[in-house]
Amino acid sequence: MNRILVTGGAGFLGSHLCDRLVAAGHDVLCVDNFFTGAKRNVAHLLGRPDFELMRHDVTFPLYVEVDRIFNLACPASPVHYQHDPVQTTKTSVHGAINMLGLAKRVKARILQASTSEVYGDPEVHPQREDYWGRVNPIGFRSCYDEGKRCAETLFFDYHRQHALDIKVVRIFNTYGPRMHPNDGRVVSNFIVQALKGEDITLYGDGTQTRSFCYVDDLLEAMLRMMDTRSGFTGPVNIGNPVEFTMIELAELVLRLVGGPSRIVHRPLPSDDPRQRQPDIALARQELDWQPRVALEDGLKETIAYFRRLFAEGVAA
């Protein structure tokens, strides 16, 4: 058993990670400021002796005793991270400094949940870990992109300067139950619009691509990464290499949900990447991992979750 800290633990990914860690017999401290996280995501764990929930913002220091740290704290969808871009950058940068300082003090292994956004609008396809990216440093998405890039810099400098035991994963588009219904991400957008019978908003001509990884697959890779040999730091791409156009995704959601919705086109947002697909050769080699859940199967689970939210009046 390990004492494990999960920052952003009441969010979409963090809450599923807490489930997995508790089920594996660990003692879990879930920390969240509830900007995008929700207590309902971890309500079923409250009252357990091996789970603790703490309201805390990682931009402030945290003094706890733990063996391992999963640093997931940061709003991850454009609608949320652009709401307060300065705070988004502070969460990535100050949050990394505070969690790295904690890990250094207690000699904990620490994993950073980085993002495919560090590649920006890439000129290399698919994206490999040795690609440095093509990122606009002053655009509307820069608070998130550059914040995560700086967090990676801090992680590797702590590793080099203080011999800190770090792990870094770069997460590509992930979806599944417990996504925020109003997070503005393409999967949740399409599902919520279809369930409401509204037009499905497709930005641009719909030929831009993404690769969608189901949450269970992603967490398996993240847990394997945390358990890799000391000295293997990453970064490692975690995502599904099967590429879909936005129009293919919209049509699939329409078929699975049914109803009167139709597809309408809107202008492409600023700095929106045209292609996003991970090269996961390193994950296959080092983690013996590849995604197993097909997009249609994962969408069925996600749609069922949103139907329950609507039935409870949470996402109305």
> Active site residue: 81, 119, 144, 175, which one?
144
144 is annotated as an active-site residue: yes
CB 126 within 8 A of CB 241: yes
What residues act catalytically? 144
